[in-house]
Amino acid sequence: MNTTETAATSALRSIVDVLAAAEHVTVLCHTRPDADTIGSGLAIAGALRRRGTVVEVSFPDSTTLPAALAELPGADTLVEPSEVVGHPVVVTVDCASIHRLESLAAVVEAAQSSVVIDHHASNDGFGTINFVDPTADCTAELVLEIIDALEVPLDVEVATCLYAGVVTDTGSFKWASPRSHRIAARLLELGVDGRRWTRRLLDTHRFAWLTMVAAALDSAELVPHAFAGRGLVYAVVDHESTAALGWEESESVVDIVRTTSEAEVAVVFKEALPGQWTVSMRAKSEVDLVPLARIHGGGGHRLAAGYGATGTATEVVGQLLRSV
Ligand SMILES: [Mn+2]
| CA 305 to ligand 1 centroid distance, Å | 11
- Ligand 1 centroid–CA 1 distance in Å is 30
Calculate how far, in angstroms, residue 212's C-alpha sits from the geometric centre of ligand 1.
25
pLDDT at 294: 94
Q: Is the dihedral of CA 209, 214, 219, 224 positive or negative?
A: positive
- CA 30 to ligand 1 center in whole angstroms: 10
Q: How far is the CA of 202 from the centre of ligand 1 (A)?
A: 15
Q: pLDDT confidence of 5, banded at 50, 70, 90?
A: low
Q: Ligand 1 centroid to 14 CA: how many Å?
A: 22
Ligand 1 center from residue 278 Cα (angstroms): 17
For the beta carbon of residue 295, count every other beta carbon within 10 angstroms: 13
Angle between helices 178-189 and 194-202 (to 10 degrees): 120
Residue-wise pLDDT tens digits, 23-32: 999 999 999 9
What 8-state DSSP symbol labels residue 78? B
Give the pLDDT of residue 249: 87
Q: What does the pLDDT average to over 234-263?
A: 90
Q: Which tens digits make up the pLDDT trace of 133-159?
A: 999 999 999 999 999 999 999 999 999
Strands 24-29, 89-93: pairing is parallel
Residue 243 alpha carbon to ligand 1 centre in Å: 25
Quick one: pLDDT at residue 4? 44
**Alpha-carbon span 36 to 178, nearest angstrom:** 18
How close is the Cα of 5 to the center of ligand 1, in Å? 25
Q: Taking 70 as the threshold, does the pLDDT of residue 16 lie above it?
A: yes
CA of 292 to the centre of ligand 1 (A): 19
Give all strands of the β-sheet with 232-237 in edge-to-edge order.
Answer: 221-223, 232-237, 265-273, 276-283, 304-310, 299-300
CA 225–ligand 1 middle distance (angstroms): 31
Nearest partner of 30 among 60, 10, 50, 3, judged by Cα: 60
How far away, in angstroms, is 2 Cα from ligand 1 center? 30
Span from the CA of 119 to the centroid of ligand 1 (angstroms): 7
CA of 40 to the centre of ligand 1 (A): 9
Q: Report the separation in Å between the CA atom of 224 and the middle of ligand 1, taken as the mean of its atom positions.
A: 30
10-26: average pLDDT:
97
Ligand 1 centroid vs 3 CA: distance in angstroms? 30
> Above pLDDT 90, what percent of the chain?
89
Helix 156-169 vs helix 194-202: angle between axes, to the nearest 10 degrees? 50
Residue 113 has pLDDT above 50, yes or no: yes
The residue that leads in pLDDT, 9 or 156, is: 156
What end-to-end distance do the CA atoms of the chain give, in Å? 45
